[in-house]
Amino acid sequence: MDNPLLAQDSLPQFMQIRPEHVEPAVRELLSENRARIGALATLTAPTFATVVEPLEELHHRMARTWSPVSHLNAVLNSEALRAGYNACLPLLSAYQTDLAQSEPLYRAYRTIAEQEGAALGAVQRQLIEHAVRDFRLAGVGLPRERKERFKTAMLELAQLQAKFEENVLDATNAWSWPVHDLHELRGLNEMLIEQARRRAAEQQADGWILRLDQPTYVAVVTDAESERLRRAFYEAWTTRASDRGPSSGRWDNTAVMEEILKRRHEAARLLDFPNYAQYALATRMAHSVDEVLDFLHELAAAARSAAQAEFAELEAFAGRELAAWDVGYYAERLQRERFHVSQEELRPYFPLPRVLGGLFEVAERLFRVRIRERAGAPVWHPDVRFFEITAASGEPVGSFYLDAYARPNKRSGAWMDECIGRKRLAVGAALPVAYLVCNFLPPGEERPALLTHDDVVTLFHEFGHGLHHLLTSVDYPSIAGINGVAWDAVELPSQFLENYAWHPQVLQRISGHFESGAALPADQQQRLIATRSFHAGLAMMRQLEFALFDFRIHTEYAPERGGRILEILREVRDEVAVVPVPEWNRFPNSFGHIFAGGYAAGYYSYKWAEVLAADAFAAFEESGVFDRATAQRFLDAILSRGGSRDALEAFIEFRGRRPDVRALLKQHGIERTAPKQYDADGAGEPA
Ligand SMILES: [Zn+2]
């Protein structure tokens, strides 16, 4: 069979890829790779050229074949494709586990490091160092008995994490709220009400039925005028999978969380780390527990008074004491009254072609590249566009697809993913190719696609990830672009580029009414920019509560006294909570990011990367946001370097010092030096 997934010499032929190609291609490649890896592992005198380069090539081939499959599964899903995709997941996972835990390869990498290390370049040394580190973290060098225990702990952990997620899902699905009086739905949008009515009809019930999915929960606590409704939703949402609330005791995650912390601690101890947080930091930009805790405490100290002032002002605005379920609702009212900015009303000013043109111009001015559309490249849907990036010299740099619009059978959200990774190896070279995927409202017959400003920020964000992938100068796939970049630093380029979507000069360039061509009026632009720092203190304190809680439970776990989950939560709240939280709130029981997802001892990364991005952007503000020399330094020190160097060293090279939280505080209008002035009656604006 002529299988298009096995072609390695051109762009993927998306329209020729059939579901029946998937499993045979993956199986063929896996067995080929396994055979070649087996041969590499037996070499008696391993060298960078004879082991590492060939392995990099094998990774590249695997990624190249699998990337279009997982991509199509996300953007052009069908039952047949999903079946092929799912059939391959266990094969790939077994392959990756075998590779990660291969003793002979581990020995080979260590031999190369010892014998060849001094003769290798810095990038090559970093590659080896990463690989050796990852082998160790996968439990490879452990004595047999400990290794078995480590594997068991990891396996049990995977099951417990899945159980955690199941409980949250079941608890979420089990609850709904019947409404018999339309008055109770006042404030909610028509779409939601219509959905609720249809759901009731489907169940042969009168009135309306609201479910507890996230969009509904968010809509209710922000928009519902009925306090009773807001409270009911808040209680149901924050007690999911716990011993409290409407389904208390069923699907309770309390014991599961305890077991998860226990296994993580055990796994970390087996590898000789004092605790799980320290283990997690082994691959991060932050190096020590204290560094992270100091960072979080510093932000908390800086943002507390701003948050308190914001909350006092909100209570003054509401004219009464506010409960946790009132905050979102009154914040929304206050924001509307103060800024008169509606995302929907901004749409006509942000037609996609205009925004794209402006975005490309930003990248072109900063990094001296040219971005041009190329017709005729094979795509998976007629709406998809293809662009090429060339250097000032005319030399090709890379290319990317833009799949901008929402449509059925496409996963929601927005993301950047690697289609082809950059490589320059003895066996051949490849230029990077990226997928940029968004879910914007499609164009109409008579009008282009019109974006909200939130959409614009999303586009800039994903394009920032894209530049990280595309402008890399690293030759080895495992550390090129976004690969091998520390988890807490990987959002730096994306959040950095977001700043341009808020800059007056750029707003002027990317806005243009789709009928009149007029740029966004100056007063509207100012009000839009002002929304960026609205309730920044409160938002910051809330994120810090999550981050401190996550980091402390993973640092302080001790087998003899267990996880102390609620105790630590209370201590963290005493330190950082500004909005009063009811005693029965059990948010940890549904905190999937840290108990089921990849953010364990890593929730701080959100703020960490935000600080890096704000501080990096501040360097541009100091010398002009389009300053060429600054941009070149950013490119040379950070953007082009992928995972080929320590993230902190890279930042210091660019900024001339360590990251400083002040840039982020300033960006959000939170001044650290002087506490916010505030009118005694609470009615005035914070200074
Ligand atoms: Zn991102």
Residue pointed to by tokens 């807001």: 230
Sheet holding 396-405, edge to edge: 369-373, 385-391, 396-405, 433-440, 415-420
The string of pLDDT tens digits covering residues 36-89 is: 999 998 899 999 999 999 999 999 999 999 999 999 999 999 999 999 999 999
What number of H helices and E strands is found in the chain? Answer: 26, 9
- Pseudo-torsion of CA 82, 88, 89, 93, nearest 10°? -170
Closest CA to 75 of 345, 396, 414: 414
Question: What pLDDT is stored for residue 673 in this prediction?
Answer: 46
Measure the CA–CA gap between 469 and 168, rounded to whole angstroms.
35
Question: What pLDDT is stored for residue 675 in this prediction?
Answer: 39
19 alpha carbon – ligand 1 mean position (Å):
29
Other CB atoms within 10 Å distance of the CB of residue 394: 7
Q: Is the pLDDT of residue 682 over 60?
A: no
Question: What pLDDT is stored for residue 671 in this prediction?
Answer: 72
Mean pLDDT of 424-430: 94
Q: What's the angle, vertex CA 118, arms to CA 115 and CA 122, rounded to 5?
A: 125
Measure the CA–CA gap between 53 and 661, rounded to whole angstroms.
40
Closest CA to 665 of 284, 300, 207: 300
- Cβ proximity of 577 and 545 under 8 Å: yes
The string of pLDDT tens digits covering residues 475-505 is: 999 999 999 999 999 999 999 999 999 999 9
SS3 per residue for 36-98: HHHHHHCCCCCCHHHHHHHHHHHHHHHHHHHHHHHHHHHHCCCHHHHHHHHHHHHHHHHHHHH
597 alpha carbon – ligand 1 mean position (Å):
16
**Per-residue pLDDT band at 18 (split at 50, 70, 90):** very high
282 alpha carbon – ligand 1 mean position (Å):
22
242 alpha carbon – ligand 1 mean position (Å):
31
Mean pLDDT of 509-528: 96
Measure the CA–CA gap between 336 and 345, rounded to whole angstroms.
13
The string of pLDDT tens digits covering residues 609-645 is: 999 999 999 999 999 999 999 999 999 999 999 999 9
Q: Which of 57, 388, 418, 462 is catalytic?
A: 462
For 659, residues 6+ apart whose C-beta sits below 8 A from its C-beta are 611, 612, 615, 651
At residue 17, φ and ψ (nearest 5 deg) are -80, 120
User: What token pair was written down for 331?
Assistant: 């914040």
Mean pLDDT of 383-396: 97
497 alpha carbon – ligand 1 mean position (Å):
11
99 alpha carbon – ligand 1 mean position (Å):
28
257 alpha carbon – ligand 1 mean position (Å):
27
Other CB atoms within 10 Å distance of the CB of residue 311: 21
Mean pLDDT of 24-37: 97
**Per-residue pLDDT band at 676 (split at 50, 70, 90):** very low
**Per-residue pLDDT band at 1 (split at 50, 70, 90):** low
Mean pLDDT of 291-303: 96
Measure the CA–CA gap between 366 and 370, rounded to whole angstroms.
11
For 330, residues 6+ apart whose C-beta sits below 8 A from its C-beta are 314, 317, 318, 322
493 alpha carbon – ligand 1 mean position (Å):
9
CA distances from 218 to 169, 224, 307, 322, 412 (A): 17, 10, 21, 18, 17
For 686, residues 6+ apart whose C-beta sits below 8 A from its C-beta are 306, 309, 310, 313, 676, 677, 678
CA distances from 147 to 71, 99, 144, 266, 462 (A): 35, 15, 5, 12, 39
Q: What's the angle, vertex CA 389, arms to CA 383 and CA 393, rounded to 5?
A: 155
456 alpha carbon – ligand 1 mean position (Å):
14
667 alpha carbon – ligand 1 mean position (Å):
19
285 alpha carbon – ligand 1 mean position (Å):
17
Amino acid identity of 353?
P
**Average pLDDT of every residue of the chain:** 94
Q: Express as a percent the part of the chain with pLDDT over 70.
A: 98
**Per-residue pLDDT band at 687 (split at 50, 70, 90):** very low
432 alpha carbon – ligand 1 mean position (Å):
18
Residue pointed to by tokens 């400083």: 660
Question: What pLDDT is stored for residue 456 in this prediction?
Answer: 98
Question: What pLDDT is stored for residue 684 in this prediction?
Answer: 33
Helix (H, G, I), strand (E, B) or coil at 241: coil
Measure the CA–CA gap between 219 and 221, rounded to whole angstroms.
6
Measure the CA–CA gap between 82 and 5, rounded to whole angstroms.
16
Q: Express as a percent the part of the chain with pLDDT over 90.
A: 90
490 alpha carbon – ligand 1 mean position (Å):
8
CA distances from 342 to 339, 447, 502, 531 (A): 9, 20, 16, 11
Other CB atoms within 10 Å distance of the CB of residue 562: 12
Cα of 181 vs its chain's centroid, Å: 40
636 alpha carbon – ligand 1 mean position (Å):
21
* DSSP assigned state of 472: -
Question: What pLDDT is stored for residue 413 in this prediction?
Answer: 86
Strand 369-373 relative to strand 423-425, pairing: unpaired
Closest CA to 601 of 323, 291, 318, 302: 291
Measure the CA–CA gap between 642 and 482, rounded to whole angstroms.
6
Q: Is the pLDDT of residue 342 over 90?
A: no
H helices present in 224-348, as ranges: 227-238, 254-270, 276-281, 289-318, 327-339, 343-346
User: What token pair was written down for 110?
Assistant: 């260590």
The string of pLDDT tens digits covering residues 369-380 is: 999 999 999 999
SS3 per residue for 114-182: HHHHHHCCHHHHHHHHHHHHHHHHCCCCCCHHHHHHHHHHHHHHHHHHHHHHHHHHHHHHHCEEEECCH
Radius of gyration, CA atoms only, the chain: 26
* DSSP assigned state of 638: I
Q: Is the pLDDT of residue 127 over 70?
A: yes
Measure the CA–CA gap between 72 and 82, rounded to whole angstroms.
9
Helix (H, G, I), strand (E, B) or coil at 646: coil
CA 105, 110, 115, 121 torsion: positive or negative? Answer: positive
User: What token pair was written down for 60?
Assistant: 């590249």
Query: In DSSP terms, which residues pair with 558 in a beta bridge?
Result: 562
Measure the CA–CA gap between 347 and 364, rounded to whole angstroms.
25
Annotation marks residue 145 as catalytic: no
**Per-residue pLDDT band at 678 (split at 50, 70, 90):** very low
Measure the CA–CA gap between 547 and 601, rounded to whole angstroms.
8
The string of pLDDT tens digits covering residues 143-154 is: 999 999 998 999
414 alpha carbon – ligand 1 mean position (Å):
9
Q: Is the pLDDT of residue 674 over 60?
A: no
115 alpha carbon – ligand 1 mean position (Å):
39
Residue pointed to by tokens 């595309």: 470
Measure the CA–CA gap between 434 and 419, rounded to whole angstroms.
5
63 alpha carbon – ligand 1 mean position (Å):
20
- Cβ proximity of 434 and 415 under 8 Å: no
- Cβ proximity of 418 and 67 under 8 Å: yes
